[in-house]
Structure 1
Amino acid sequence: MAAGYAELLRTRHAARLLAGTLLGRLPNGTAAIAIVLFIRSEGGSYSLAGALAAAYGLANAVGQPLLGRAVDLYGQPRVQLPAALVSALGMVWLAAAGTASMAAAYAAVLVSGLFTPPLEGGLRALWPSVLGGREERVHAAYAMDAVAQEVMYTVGPLLVTLCVALWSPAAALLVLNGVGLVGVLMVVLSEPSRTWRSVPREAHWLGALRSRGLLALLGAFFFVGMALGSIAVAAVAYADGHGGQAVYGWLMAALGLGALVGGVVYGARQWAGAPERRLRLLVGLLAVGYLPLMLTVGPVAMTALAALSGVFLAPSLACAFIVVDRHAPAGTVTEAFSWLVTFFGVGAALGTAAAGPAVEMGGTTAGFAVAGGAGVAALLVLTATQTALSGGGRTRAVAGSAGAPSEQLIKN
């Protein structure tokens, strides 16, 4: 398995693009915890800190598909780099303004979130040209991409706490956004990013959302995001009664470890058959993995169940990337991937909001029931929309070495 990923990373530009994307996404991946720690250090309440973090997330959800569409129209460097600069300046503004002016604080996080560059969609649009258009290698790269996400979301919060310990919460905001700018530069100055061009698109105000198959997938992953958001809250409630923050840390680490293992194993082999059918199976297994969490057994067994619940997350995401690519209308691939980020993130926010009242009314089991119900809902969406998702094979344009598109048929 390691040899397969190592081979991908030895491909020219691949390691640079993956590393640059991960670094460039650090400000976004750590924004919630960095904002909360900063506002608390300034004397702000938890309510204010949570509201500002939520405002950032909402602005990010709005901005990703809009900037993704701009990337498809104008190319990556013209959009990604200016957006990253404006987003970073938003966090500089927040660090300078603090909580002295609520209007300034909200404006700063809204600007930063809205202009977060769509690096995820950009990287997935680049993989076909970087890997020579070979379908099996592109699919393996999507799996590696999903695994790398889990690493970032595990390491990112640790980097925030390290920066806070070494310097201050304000310094953490500035340092992480500075690192993010370095990552964006690594991507946009690379040859694949500079030469990539989207294929011509049909003018339509709905853009990528005019695809019924894509809408079906986005609806399903809204509920997957909801499940993950609710687990984060339910795990806090569980830890409060079973040992405190250490137990919470073990549960979330186990969830991430399960996803890492699942993603590595999934990406190590080629899979036969249509990815749409495979996605239903993977999401079904993901939903089944969430249900045992409602048992709320002892900490050791609960940690094992948390790891089990994460096993099919990265494979589901990797397969979803393939399906997005197959169903995105021509010329909208970056926008389509950005919509996945948006639906997933909004679902996670709703899951977090729903799990709180569920825990208060029905205890920890009810909190985990939100996750189980959301997982089942994701499967039901995919099952009910089989027709829209079937027959997803289409012609995709792959940017050549000089940026000129060449057509490649993606087969079921």
Structure 2
Amino acid sequence: MTGAYLEVLRARHAARLLAGTLVGRLPNAVAALAILLFVRAEGGSYSLAGGLAAAYGVANAVGQPVLGRLVDLYGQPRVQLPAALASAVATTVFALVGIAPLPLAYASVAAAGLFAPPLEGGLRALWASVLHKEGQVHTAYAMDAVAQEVLFTVGPLLLTLSASLWSAQAALVLLNVIGVLGALSVVVSPPSRAWRSEPREAHWLGALRSPGLLALLAAFLFVGMAMGSIAVAAVSYADDHGGDVVYGALMAGLGFGALIGGAVYGARRWGGEPARRLRFLVALLAVCYLPLTLMPGVVGMTLLAVLAGVFLAPCIACAFVLVDRHAPRGTVTEAFSWLVTTFTVGASVGTGLAGPVVETGGALWGFAVPGAAAAVSLLVLLATGRVLAAPGRGGVVAASPENDPNRAVEPRFSSGDRA
């Protein structure tokens, strides 16, 4: 199973781009927890921490597609590195000033979220210029989805370790410095410096003028809701079965399941229509959420959490293929950034929705929310099946002399364009 991944990682620049992107995304991945730890260390309330984290999240949701569009227009180095520096400076101001005066705290946190560089979308736009086979790009998307699960597991551990060794303030600054170094590693690489977006049609909607992309975003809004709601339900369950340790076990189970599912999915070359495959994967995702409502003991519940996470990374990896297919020419980074934003907004909505549900019906009804959200996502995919199955802008035909000594041309992913 590792053969497909090793093939990707052996490609020139691939390992560096993946590692640099993960390191560069570290501040964004742990932002909510970092804000919570810092506000608590400053003597602030959980309500204040939640408000500041929400300000960061909203600004980040706005900033990702905007910065993604700028990357498509002006290239990666001109946007990614200045954005990373601006985000780090804003975070440092927050760490030095603290929670008073409050307007400055909110402004600095919002600026940090707004300028968080769209490294995710940038990496996915680069894969086709680094890899020379479409199957390898599919594997890279799956590896990317798996790496996200690793990041969201390792990131909080690094943050809490840094905070315990030094302070929450030092951890906040340190992780942002590390993030800038990760972004720098990406933007000085030859693929990032050479990448140019395709010529684009001037349109104020940008990537959102694609019906196929809009259909995909609508579906993934509900997948995000499922992820946000399951975290709240897990807190309610853990409160009755052992507290924070149990909650950590359930979240680790979800992440481990996603890691397994993504690893297996990416190791295989998939044929057929990706829109049909995505419907099948989302259906399995919804089905695997339902057993959580049985709420057995801690060991059984942890195993069910592993099962619930298995199809998340494959769904995300398959969605990447469809984003690349349906993004209008010249908007690939913006399109991938819209997927990130939609998933984040969905998770926030799911968190907000699950809270009242859990208060009214307990953890049982809380665990019913992710299954219902995934089912709605499936209904959206079924209703928009023709739109998603319709050809997108089409692949770009690019020369591939390394793989073809006769200099024949082969279809390549559109995001490879002229890099």
TM-score (norm 1): 0.96
2:86 aligned partner: 86
Contact 1:57–1:113 (Cα < 8 Å) also in 2: yes
Is 1:70–2:70 an aligned residue pair?
Answer: yes
Is 1:268–2:274 an aligned residue pair?
Answer: no
Distance in structure 2 (CA, Å) of the matches to 1:381 and 1:6: 36
Contact 2:65–2:341 (Cα < 8 Å) also in 1: yes
SS of aligned partner of 2:214: helix
SS of aligned partner of 1:12: coil
Q: After superposition, what is the alpha-carbon deviation per residue over 1:287-339, rounded to whole angstroms, capped at 9, x for unaligned?
A: 11111111111111111110000000000000000000000001000000000
Q: 1:8 to 1:377 in 2, by over 3 A?
A: same
Distance in structure 1 (CA, Å) of the matches to 2:154 and 2:146: 13
TM-score (norm 2): 0.95
1:135 aligned partner: 134
1:187 aligned partner: 186
Distance in structure 2 (CA, Å) of the matches to 1:410 and 1:175: 37
SS of aligned partner of 2:395: strand
Q: After superposition, what is the alpha-carbon deviation per residue over 1:363-385, rounded to whole angstroms, capped at 9, x for unaligned?
A: 00111111111111111110111
Q: By how many angstroms is 1:390 displaced?
A: 1.4
Distance in structure 2 (CA, Å) of the matches to 1:93 and 1:347: 29
Give the letter aligned to residue 44 of structure 1.
G
2:368 aligned partner: 369
1:225 aligned partner: 224
SS of aligned partner of 1:48: helix
Q: By how many angstroms is 1:409 displaced?
A: 5.5
SS of aligned partner of 1:408: strand
Give the letter aligned to residue 291 of structure 2.
P
1:304 aligned partner: 303
1:322 aligned partner: 321
Q: After superposition, what is the alpha-carbon deviation per residue over 1:100-124, rounded to whole angstroms, capped at 9, x for unaligned?
A: 1110100001100000000000000
Q: By how many angstroms is 1:96 displaced?
A: 1.0
Give the letter aligned to residue 135 of structure 2.
E
Contact 2:398–2:411 (Cα < 8 Å) also in 1: no
Alignment of 1:10-409 (within 5 A): 10-132=10-132, 134-397=133-396, 408=411
Q: After superposition, what is the alpha-carbon deviation per residue over 1:82-133, rounded to whole angstroms, capped at 9, x for unaligned?
A: 000000011001001101111010000110000000000000000000002x
**What 5-or-longer segments of structure 2 have no aligned partner?**
401-408, 415-419
2:405 aligned partner: none
Give the letter aligned to residue 408 of structure 1.
P
Q: 1:214 to 1:407 in 2, by over 3 A?
A: farther
Distance in structure 2 (CA, Å) of the matches to 1:80 and 1:247: 38
Distance in structure 2 (CA, Å) of the matches to 1:114 and 1:105: 14
Q: 1:115 to 1:141 in 2, by over 3 A?
A: same
1:2 aligned partner: 2
Contact 2:328–2:393 (Cα < 8 Å) also in 1: no
Q: By how many angstroms is 1:400 displaced?
A: 8.0
Q: 1:165 to 1:410 in 2, by over 3 A?
A: closer
SS of aligned partner of 1:201: coil
Contact 1:394–1:409 (Cα < 8 Å) also in 2: no
Distance in structure 2 (CA, Å) of the matches to 1:5 and 1:387: 32
Q: By how many angstroms is 1:391 displaced?
A: 2.0
Q: By how many angstroms is 1:154 displaced?
A: 0.6
SS of aligned partner of 2:241: coil
Contact 1:227–1:374 (Cα < 8 Å) also in 2: yes
Q: By how many angstroms is 1:136 displaced?
A: 0.5
RMSD (Å) for aligned C-alpha atoms: 1.5
Contact 1:34–1:173 (Cα < 8 Å) also in 2: yes
Distance in structure 1 (CA, Å) of the matches to 2:413 and 2:234: 41
Contact 2:35–2:52 (Cα < 8 Å) also in 1: yes
Q: By how many angstroms is 1:393 displaced?
A: 4.9
Distance in structure 2 (CA, Å) of the matches to 1:392 and 1:166: 53
SS of aligned partner of 2:108: helix
Distance in structure 1 (CA, Å) of the matches to 2:180 and 2:399: 27
Q: By how many angstroms is 1:394 displaced?
A: 3.9
Distance in structure 2 (CA, Å) of the matches to 1:150 and 1:390: 28
Distance in structure 1 (CA, Å) of the matches to 2:191 and 2:413: 21
Q: After superposition, what is the alpha-carbon deviation per residue over 1:259-283, rounded to whole angstroms, capped at 9, x for unaligned?
A: 0000000011111101011001001
Question: After the TM superposition, which of the residue ranges 292-301 and 47-56 deviates more from structure 2?
Answer: 292-301
Distance in structure 1 (CA, Å) of the matches to 2:391 and 2:281: 18
Give the letter aligned to residue 269 of structure 2.
Q
SS of aligned partner of 1:395: coil
Q: 1:39 to 1:274 in 2, by over 3 A?
A: same
Q: 1:341 to 1:277 in 2, by over 3 A?
A: same
Q: By how many angstroms is 1:399 displaced?
A: 8.2
Distance in structure 1 (CA, Å) of the matches to 2:105 and 2:397: 42
Give the letter aligned to residue 365 of structure 1.
L
Give the letter aligned to residue 264 of structure 1.
A
Distance in structure 1 (CA, Å) of the matches to 2:398 and 2:99: 47
